[in-house]
Structure 1
Amino acid sequence: MSQIQLAQPSAAAATEDVSAPVDLVALARWMDENGLESGPVHAVSRIGGGTQNILLRFRRGAREFIFRHPPAHPRPESNKTMIRESRVLAALASTGVPHPRLIATCTDETVLGAVFYLMEPVAGFNATVAMPGQAKESPELRHAMGFALIDGLVALANVDHEAVGLSDFGRLDGFLERQVGRWAAELESYHRYPEWSGRGELGDVHGIGAWLEQNRPVGMRPGIMHGDYHIGNVLYHADGSLAAIVDWEMATLGDPLMDLGRLLSTWPDGDGPPVLSMRVDPSTGFPTREALIARYAKKSARDLSNLPWFEILACYKLGILLEGTYARAQAGKADPATGARLHATAIALLERARQRITSNREKVQQ
């Protein structure tokens, strides 16, 4: 695309938008140094989402940008996470995986106080925010949207992580062996909040962990994992195809079947409470979990014989993670209403894990 030639202004001419949570003057100065358009940073708007990271859309010169930065009070690992996110986006540029295109990364923390990066905007909609036009009216289109989720997941799982320069992006040795212990320790760590009511309402969490340890698959076919793959972390084109997979902060190397397990863990199938839902409206028309699995089996060469293990692990892991918000909420460190909602979801997820264990045992005995 040709760019409009503008007179080169001072970086100090950047719009002083008092609502912007970052220094736009410093941002414009850095963009000047890296040849990223010219003129004022303007039309700044904040993009909402399920993360505390700062996500902005703005214009400069003839181009729009998406800006991603850690929260105002960064967590200890925030800068490392930003670098990893931008690295995986850069690696995916040569693949068929739909993703936001990386423009540039700033690792100099003196510019804005933390690592940040710029991406190309993606034209698309998030189904958990609003179903527009035909997507809201057509069950057939929503059916295609469900299959598009699987197609994106298969495309990611098929990427040769070594060929795209991500051979050191995660520790593959002992990956599956580490999972249960890691999340069991996370649950135990919530006792640091004396106000936490404990694991009583969660049921027999230890029993789920014991089953996972006893039935762990032998070996795996490694690949790139998104880490939190669900319908709220993708954007769709109007025709129901995937425009982009977003929110890569948990990406790593491991077994890509964990992403499929994560998707299935909250996919409604009639055997769980309403709290386990995709959080989309309307939700009719989407494929059943059985249809999603069949699609994955058709599109991928991966062995799905151990898929129940991965779904049960996903329920176990996600349930424990969500309970952490509840523990923080009871300690006055998170929103009480959000904590209560996620606590209910954690209970439902762990109950689903136990149901899946029972179903799996019955199948084995038949």
Structure 2
Amino acid sequence: MSDSPEPPPGLDLARLRDRLDTELPGTVHGPLRARLFEGGRSNLTYLLEDGTDRWVLRRPPLGHVLATAHDMGREHRVLAALHPTRVPVPRPLLLVQDESVIGAPFYLMQYVPGTPHRDAAALTALGPQRVHALGLHLVDTLVELHAVDPAAVELADFGRPAGFLERQLRRWGKQLDASRSRELAGIDELHEQLARTLPASPEPTLVHGDYRLDNVLVGADDRITAVLDWEMSTVGDPLTDLGLLVMYTELARRYDGILPGAALAEGFPDSAGLVGRYAAGCGRDVSALGWYVGFASFKLAVVLEGIHYRYTRGGTVGTGFDRVGELVPVFVRFGLTSLKER
């Protein structure tokens, strides 16, 4: 996290304090300080403190924002729906759509203690048995998410399951067009091959959209205390979450240094172990998973290209954005390979 006497970019603490005192009177007891959580590449996440209590605030990125992305209302809604369930999420406290407060919509949520494991070194310190158990628990938590009935938590209208994969491909194709600033070899071919080989989706569930180890917090007992970053969540094909998790695991192992390397820690389950655990937990057919891995690769290539676009125009906050553009071709090549291996 970055820490400075001055508020980080994207926050006006005086206006924020006024709004919190109005909407949540008596919640903040001392002067507000804010720190930006580093490591995020999309929405901005801040830790707020008043000397006694802590909260977390989320807002869209600065600068160029893709249409339909970075919807604070959707994130807030899914957290509110899931908080009473077995899926661990922070409790949402306040949604503010008024952009005059900090320059963009935002929401405030409960601070949840825990560690986001982003590299193999920190995870290796747990030892192979604990690492293996954590990897399986990661899958079990995904199974719990996909077991939630969207209608039962008032999320039946949170997405449009019919034609989900076809619509997703169209959407991410449009997102790519909105961020085009250079030639990207193979990305249009990947998009076209995915469209030609669409699988039949299983029954729809709530989908996280970016499910991986460094998007969860892990407590001292090695249990997941919170699933974070719900900006891509919807109701749709659950295998898109599994395909994404496999993609991250495979890419971390095939291209060391390209992605957060937690999957390189001794004991972390391999892709077959993750997929087998998921299939055993929910009973879904996973035979078409190669397509879903290819789709995950395309989606992440588009996300990273959007971030690269913002970086080249000075719209990012924090460090590490200078290398994002180099990663996009890796995702494209891996996506094409995954489709050939179906």
Indicate conservation of the 8 Å contact 1:70/1:116, yes or no.
yes
Q: Which residue of 2 aligns with 1:290?
A: 272
1:59 aligns with 2:49: yes
Q: Deviations over 1:304-354 (max 9, x none)?
A: 22222211111122223324445666678779x957743443322222223
Q: Tell me which moved more, 90-99 or 304-313.
A: 304-313
1:68 aligns with 2:58: yes
- For 1:330 and 1:272, how far apart are their aligned partners in 2? 28
Q: Which residue of 2 aligns with 1:141?
A: 130
Please state how far the C-alpha of 1:79 moved relative to its aligned partner: 9.7
SS at match of 1:65: strand
Classify 1:243/1:320 alpha carbon distance in 2 versus 1 (closer, same or farther; 3 Å). same
Please state how far the C-alpha of 1:303 moved relative to its aligned partner: 2.3
Q: Deviations over 1:273-327 (max 9, x none)?
A: 3355443396222111000001101111322222222111111222233244456
Please state how far the C-alpha of 1:49 moved relative to its aligned partner: 3.0
Answer with 1 or 2: which has the greater Rg: 1
Q: Which residue of 2 aligns with 1:26?
A: 15
Which of residues 348, 352, 356 in structure 1 aligns to 2:334?
A: 352
The aligned amino acid for 2:72 is M
Please state how far the C-alpha of 1:150 moved relative to its aligned partner: 0.9
The aligned amino acid for 1:107 is Q
Q: Percent identity?
A: 34
Q: Which residue of 2 aligns with 1:182?
A: 171
Q: Which residue of 2 aligns with 1:14?
A: none
Q: Within 5 Å, give how 1:163-178 maps onto structure 2.
A: 163-178=152-167
- For 1:76 and 1:356, how far apart are their aligned partners in 2? 27
Classify 1:48/1:32 alpha carbon distance in 2 versus 1 (closer, same or farther; 3 Å). same
Please state how far the C-alpha of 1:95 moved relative to its aligned partner: 0.8
Q: Tell me which moved more, 23-32 or 154-163.
A: 23-32
Q: Which residue of 2 aligns with 1:100?
A: 90
SS at match of 2:217: strand
The aligned amino acid for 2:87 is V
1:117 aligns with 2:99: no
- For 1:271 and 1:48, how far apart are their aligned partners in 2? 24
Please state how far the C-alpha of 1:173 moved relative to its aligned partner: 2.8
SS at match of 1:84: helix
Classify 1:180/1:27 alpha carbon distance in 2 versus 1 (closer, same or farther; 3 Å). closer
Classify 1:26/1:341 alpha carbon distance in 2 versus 1 (closer, same or farther; 3 Å). closer
Q: Which residue of 2 aligns with 1:8?
A: none
Indicate conservation of the 8 Å contact 2:92/2:109, yes or no.
yes
- Of structures 1 and 2, the one scoring higher in RCO (CA 8 A, sep 6+) is 2
Q: Which residue of 1 aligns with 2:232?
A: 250
1:236 aligns with 2:208: no
The aligned amino acid for 1:163 is A
Which of residues 178, 183, 190 in structure 2 aligns to 1:208?
A: 190
Indicate conservation of the 8 Å contact 2:252/2:261, yes or no.
no
TM-score of the aligned structures, taking structure 2 as reference length:
0.84
- For 1:181 and 1:77, how far apart are their aligned partners in 2? 13
1:263 aligns with 2:263: no
- For 2:275 and 2:191, how far apart are their aligned partners in 1? 24
Q: Deviations over 1:236-261 (max 9, x none)?
A: 11232211111111112211211111
Q: Deviations over 1:261-282 (max 9, x none)?
A: 1111121379833355443396
RMSD: 3.3
SS at match of 2:206: strand
Indicate conservation of the 8 Å contact 1:327/1:339, yes or no.
no
Q: Which residue of 2 aligns with 1:363?
A: none
Q: Which residue of 2 aligns with 1:82?
A: 72
Indicate conservation of the 8 Å contact 2:63/2:316, yes or no.
no
Please state how far the C-alpha of 1:113 moved relative to its aligned partner: 3.7
Structure 2 unaligned spans of 5+: none
- For 2:253 and 2:120, how far apart are their aligned partners in 1? 26
Q: Which residue of 2 aligns with 1:152?
A: 141
TM-score of the aligned structures, taking structure 1 as reference length:
0.79
The aligned amino acid for 1:320 is V
Q: Which residue of 2 aligns with 1:272?
A: 254
The aligned amino acid for 1:157 is H
Indicate conservation of the 8 Å contact 1:66/1:119, yes or no.
yes
Please state how far the C-alpha of 1:73 moved relative to its aligned partner: 4.9
Indicate conservation of the 8 Å contact 1:24/1:41, yes or no.
no
Q: Which runs of 4+ in 1 moved over 4 A?
A: 76-80, 129-132, 188-191, 324-335, 337-340
Q: Which residue of 2 aligns with 1:9?
A: none
- For 2:236 and 2:338, how far apart are their aligned partners in 1? 23
- For 2:280 and 2:261, how far apart are their aligned partners in 1? 27
- For 2:66 and 2:251, how far apart are their aligned partners in 1? 39
The aligned length equals: 336
Classify 1:24/1:223 alpha carbon distance in 2 versus 1 (closer, same or farther; 3 Å). same
